[in-house]
Structure 1
Amino acid sequence: MADLCNLPRMVAIGGPTATGKTALSVALAKEFGGEVINADSMQIYRGLDIGTAKPTAEERQGIPHHLMDFLPPEAPYSVADFTAAAAPLIEQLNSAGKLPIVTGGTGLYITSLMKGTAFAPEKTDPAIRARLQTEADEQGSAALYARLQQIDPAYAEKLHPNNLPRVIRALELFEATGRRMSEQQRAALAAEPPYRSLCICLTCRDRAELYRRIDRRVDSMLQNGVLEEAKLVYDNREIYRTAAQAIGYKEFFPYFAGEMPLNDCTNRLKQATRNYAKRQLTWFRHQADGVWLYVDEEPPARRAAELVRQFLQN
């Protein structure tokens, strides 16, 4: 068994959207000499700032943020890409005496990194993927999700039916190799974790307060110009495949198509974000060995700093 004292250290900050993960990560980075590694699957894209709630330069307060704002919106990106990029960063920061603070709401990214999930090189077949995408366009994503339920019910149960990129990837894997995604994920688990890690998860004790925070965030996004970003994604939806599926953009597509008033689209976005927050809560509660802090009871910075201090001293 590996000596935990000799493993690289990392702190992860997860939890649902609109709970203040960015502010906490910056505060901890300033106190403990850390740098942030982004674990949000949409904040990687350049030019998509408001709809992804990407922290501004002012909010980052001079703290380096890695794996953020570095890809064009048409580029695909997977959890395997994330772990392959984050692992050497964690090593480099540890070697430099810096504390890596992995922050974001994409639970799959954080837990795969903490557990040391080993992703085999992906064998992709562009022809199969293109055909599946065409089928989704013609038949709807529900048809492909139903097919995945038949082929790999264990993996389908983990996915939201509208998570079309992952549904297509799982179907593509099965067609190209005969392997089910659930089997591949089980085989990928490391025997021992590669890091000594502390996972802090933020949420609200009162679910209604979480939803109020989400509503305020959506209203702020509209004031800050999210419609312009959403129109960019809408106009380029054939090549911005990932962004076109992202919460924060696709809800406005009926408005641009003249099919729904803006207020109705805004309410749809608020509801979609609340539903996403519930899925984030479920993921982190089942996957991550996390310490939960409730931001509606007290500001989390003091308790989080105590946890990090104890973690670094042990």
Structure 2
Amino acid sequence: MSKNKVVVIAGPTAVGKSEIGIELALHFGGEIISGDSMQIYRGLDIGTAKVTLAERKRVPHHLIDERDPAESYSAAAFQKEAKERIKNMNDDGKLPFVVGGTGFYIRALTRDLDLHETSADEGFREEMEQYAQTHGTQALHEKLQAIDYQSASRIHPNNLKKVIRALEINHTTGRKQREFSEQETQPSPYDLALIGLTMERDVLYRRINERVDQMVADGVMEEARWLFEYAPEDSQAAQAIGYKEFYSYFKGEYSIEQAVEQLKRNSRRYAKRQLTWFRNKEKMKWFDMTSMNKEEKIQEMIEYIEGKFS
């Protein structure tokens, strides 16, 4: 039985994923599934660099504007909904393009990770955080050593978040973190064409800074104000880069100039983390977009996709 086909277009913020995705989807008569964890939320358009309504008329887009900002959204929910859309598109003879930069969401989908077994246990996390406060991070790390020595040897005692997560996986599933991680080495259930877009760092950082300035001009602060007043501050949407940076300004703790500079810095740091993730986690065909000779690059991508699925 043949596998369903999927094209993934990933890379750091501001590298041009959306534009390339639209051009490739138009060429192949495909449709786009957003692989961005924040574009799922209605009303968050400017800060998430969401494609315009005109662009969505050119190519159908999925998993955009399908959740209220007060709702939570997870990799498991993305995986389930994206799998359904991929199957439907393949059944209809259309090529699905997953376009976005949320690395774990894309990995969960392309490796079909068993996510339901690692659900969060907030009570357990709070208990472990309290234990660390009372007894110290080293004592908590020793608890991990006792049940999962391999994970403990890879996680520094001071990395409290990762120590607690490894303990939580064992607590909720009875399995060691390494057993879960080994799923990532399993073959993909899809016939995949993985495209990574990259760019020289100084050029990318300049584009990020310019994008932030344009977002401010387009009214991202008004979107952030609406989100600040509408959704709980600990909601997932409120944690998005592009919005959370303005909260301190709204509270009178930062100037607007400080908030904008923090947004630029956080966006640059996020781009660096995205590149590290995709280079370490995925075997992608990389295309350097620095020269911006888009027509040539797109033709190379078309040939790559055709070669993968021929």
Give 1:23's match in structure 2, choosing from 1, 19, 22.
Answer: 19
1:80 is displaced (CA, Å) by 1.6
| One of 256, 263, 279 as aligned partner of 1:262 | 256
Pick the aligned partner of 1:203 from 173, 176, 198: 198
Alignment of 1:50-69 (within 5 A): 50-69=46-65
How many Å apart are 1:245 and its aligned residue?
A: 1.7
TM-score (normalised: structure 1): 0.82
Which of the pair has more CA radius of gyration? 2
Question: How far apart, CA to CA, are the structure 2 residues paired with 1:53 and 1:154?
Answer: 40
What are the ranges of 5 or more consecutive residues in structure 2 without an aligned counterpart? Answer: 145-150
Percent identity (aligned): 41
* Cα separation, partners in 2 of 1:283 and 1:126, compared to 1, 3 Å: closer
- Alignment of 1:192 with 2:183, yes or no, is no
Q: Aligned-residue CA RMSD in angstroms?
A: 3.2
Which residue in the other structure is 1:284 paired with? 278
Matches within 5 A, 1:1-314: 6-121=2-117, 123-125=119-121, 127-128=123-124, 131=126, 151=144, 173-177=169-173, 179=175, 181-186=177-182, 188-189=183-184, 191-204=186-199, 206-236=200-230, 238=232, 241-297=235-291, 298-299=293-294, 300-312=297-309, 314=310
In structure 1, runs of 5+ residues without a counterpart are none
SS at match of 1:120: helix
Q: Distance in 2 between matches of 1:18 and 1:268?
A: 17
The 8 Å contact of residues 70 and 232 in structure 2, kept in 1 or not, is answered as no
Which deviates more from structure 2 when the two are superposed, residues 301-310 or residues 43-52? 301-310
What is the deviation of 1:189?
3.9
1:98 is displaced (CA, Å) by 0.2
Partner of 2:58, secondary structure, is: coil
Query: Residue 170 of structure 1: CA displacement?
Result: 6.2
Cα distance change on mapping 1:259 and 1:100 into 2, 3 Å? same
- How much does 1:49 deviate? 1.2
User: What CA distance in whole angstroms lies between the structure 2 residues aligned with 1:97 and 1:197?
Assistant: 16
Instruction: State the aligned residue count.
Output: 294
Residues 30-75 of structure 1 show CA distances to partners (whole Å, capped at 9, x for unaligned) of 1101000111011111111111111111233431111111011122
Q: Is the 8 A contact 1:233 1:240 kept in 2?
A: no
TM, length-normalised to structure 2: 0.83
